[in-house]
Amino acid sequence: MHSIRLPHLIAGTITAIVAIAFTTTPTLAADLRAGDIVSVTEDEEVDSDLYLAGRLVSSNAGVLGDVFAAGETLQIGGHVEGGLSAAGETVHIDGEVSRGARVAGATVDVTGRIGRDLMLASREFTLAPGASIGQDLYFGAGSIMLSGDIEGDLRGGAEDLTIRGTVGGNVNVEVGTLVIDPEARILGDLTYRSREEAAIPAGTVEGNVSYSQYPGDRMRGRFFPDVEILGPLAVLASVMWRVSWYLMTLLVGIVLILLTPRRMAGAATVCRTDTGPVAGWGAIALFGTPIAAILISLTFIGLPLGIIVLLLWGILLYLAQLPVSLLIGHLILGHRKPLENKGGMIGALALGLLILTLLRAMPAAGLLIWLATALFGLGGMVVAEHRLAQSRRIATDDTFVN
């Protein structure tokens, strides 16, 4: 019985994350752009890595380095000499990416060309006719339509998978439903697990075809009709979720570095220089804030305020990982200079967040690492904000004196 080779997927995922981290090191120049609407026109030439963050993001320029993009709607055109990392609600790739791409989004479609591997986490994915992927496609998705060509292997899991184009390597997938179009061509082997055996048109698969049904049919109907699909895809879903989480958090951090570099650097620095006060204020913020909010909510008048405080506490709890990741990356890269350069901060954040993401995936230490991250991250933000306010007051007093 054959099954999807998840180690290949996991290895590819880790490789992609490492690539994201180390291609953002400060030895490379960076073009950083953020706003509500961000547009890079086709008459521009970007000779460095390009970082884009906004609600609507469009890039049609030639880029000599890598492109990192985050937003609600992303459109990536032009010619990207490096790789692409993108996360958004809607992602459209109609240009040429010379290297690999890591993409997470609700709806993703590719009408251009990706030169190497594509690692994908999506609800709906379309590879349009005429589009192509130069090497392998690794995916975790809800619905996939492949009308273009994949020159390497196709590996992953989805609820619905339709193949209409050409796959130059092997297909090894776990799906709810598999559809092979009569015009499709699979030059390697087809190995798949599904609820039901698919109708494979004659001549579409040049290699061997191996089918296995999801085990546990006797469990069907006892709990949920499709419960058996959850087990085989659990590892895949977990890996792709961590990739998506990493990308989204990294891009949130990039936006904050672009908008508030002084606050980000200050929060990371005090975690190292003022460990005691940071830990103390972190404990108050982590445990005292929700308790106070709940007590306030016990009164009818204080209920709205308590809810608002809890929401803000949740947002800050999420952001707490950013200064800790920034500090970890900064220490590992061996920087003795203060955190001042935005490009250097982004590189340190990418590396530190990678390490933190991998550590939190450890079953035994995950909770402890999360607790330490929240404690020092929240404390660092509180102490840094207090010191920033103090410096502003001193500057104001000096102005009045002079």
Q: Is the pLDDT of residue 135 over 80?
A: yes
Q: Which comes out higher in pLDDT, residue 110 or 400?
A: 110
Q: Is the pLDDT of residue 121 over 90?
A: no
> Has residue 57 been placed in a domain?
yes
| Amino acid 336: pLDDT | 61
Q: Is the pLDDT of residue 377 over 80?
A: yes
Q: Give mean pLDDT, residues 72-80.
A: 92
Residues 178 and 272 in one domain: no
| Amino acid 341: pLDDT | 74
Q: Is 308 helix (H, G, I), strand (E, B) or coil?
A: helix
Residues 299 and 226 in one domain: no
Average pLDDT, the chain: 81
311-353 residue pLDDT tens: 999 899 999 999 999 998 888 776 666 777 777 788 778 778 8
Of the residues 233, 251, 271, which one is the last residue of a structural domain? 233
> Has residue 372 been placed in a domain?
yes
Residues 208 and 122 in one domain: yes
Q: How confident is the model at residue 226 (pLDDT cuts 50, 70, 90)?
A: very low
Q: Is the pLDDT of residue 146 over 90?
A: yes
> Has residue 134 been placed in a domain?
yes
Closest of 247, 208, 300 to residue 74, by C-alpha: 247
Q: Is the pLDDT of residue 113 over 60?
A: yes
Cα–Cα distance for residue pair 161/176, rounded to 1 Å: 8
**Six-digit token string for 399:** 């102005």
> Has residue 336 been placed in a domain?
yes
| Amino acid 217: pLDDT | 44
Q: Give mean pLDDT, residues 77-104.
A: 91
Q: Is the pLDDT of residue 168 over 90?
A: yes
Amino acid at 194: S
| Amino acid 387: pLDDT | 86
Q: Is the pLDDT of residue 102 over 90?
A: no
Residues 200 and 286 in one domain: no
Q: Give mean pLDDT, residues 239-260.
A: 78
Q: Could you tell me if 160 and 143 are in contact, meaning their C-beta atoms sit under 8 angstroms apart?
A: yes
pTM of the model: 0.59
Q: How many residues does the chain have?
A: 402
| Amino acid 350: pLDDT | 79
> Has residue 240 been placed in a domain?
no
Give percent of the chain above pLDDT 90: 36
- Inter-CA distances, 180 with 7, 21, 35, 202, 212, Å: 26, 37, 43, 10, 16
Residues 222 and 293 in one domain: no
Of the residues 233, 251, 275, which one is the last residue of a structural domain? 233
Residues 208 and 330 in one domain: no
| Amino acid 82: pLDDT | 92
Number of domains in the chain: 2
Q: Could you tell me if 282 and 374 are in contact, meaning their C-beta atoms sit under 8 angstroms apart?
A: yes
> Has residue 1 been placed in a domain?
no
Q: Which comes out higher in pLDDT, residue 58 or 26?
A: 58
DSSP 88-143: EEEEEE-SEESS-EEEEEEEEEE-SEESS-EEEEEEEEEE-TT-EESS-EEEEEEE
Q: How confident is the model at residue 70 (pLDDT cuts 50, 70, 90)?
A: confident
Residues 166 and 315 in one domain: no
Give percent of the chain above pLDDT 70: 80
| Amino acid 19: pLDDT | 42
Residues 338 and 395 in one domain: yes
Q: How confident is the model at residue 225 (pLDDT cuts 50, 70, 90)?
A: very low
> Has residue 249 been placed in a domain?
no
| Amino acid 337: pLDDT | 65
Q: How confident is the model at residue 3 (pLDDT cuts 50, 70, 90)?
A: very low
- C-alpha angle 180-106-62 in degrees, rounded to nearest 5: 95
Q: How confident is the model at residue 238 (pLDDT cuts 50, 70, 90)?
A: low
| Amino acid 230: pLDDT | 44
Residues 108 and 213 in one domain: yes
Q: Which domain holds residue 311?
A: 260-401
Q: Give mean pLDDT, residues 363-383.
A: 86
Q: Is the pLDDT of residue 56 over 60?
A: yes
| Amino acid 41: pLDDT | 92
Cα–Cα distance for residue pair 179/219, rounded to 1 Å: 25
Closest of 244, 276, 256 to residue 320, by C-alpha: 256
Residues 328 and 393 in one domain: yes
User: 8-22, 322-336, 355-369 — which one is most confidently predicted on average?
Assistant: 322-336
Q: Could you tell me if 345 and 326 are in contact, meaning their C-beta atoms sit under 8 angstroms apart?
A: yes
| Amino acid 222: pLDDT | 39
Cα–Cα distance for residue pair 165/145, rounded to 1 Å: 9
Q: Give mean pLDDT, residues 128-142.
A: 92
- C-alpha angle 126-229-107 in degrees, rounded to nearest 5: 20
Residues 225 and 285 in one domain: no
> Has residue 274 been placed in a domain?
yes
Cα–Cα distance for residue pair 38/56, rounded to 1 Å: 6
Residues 295 and 215 in one domain: no
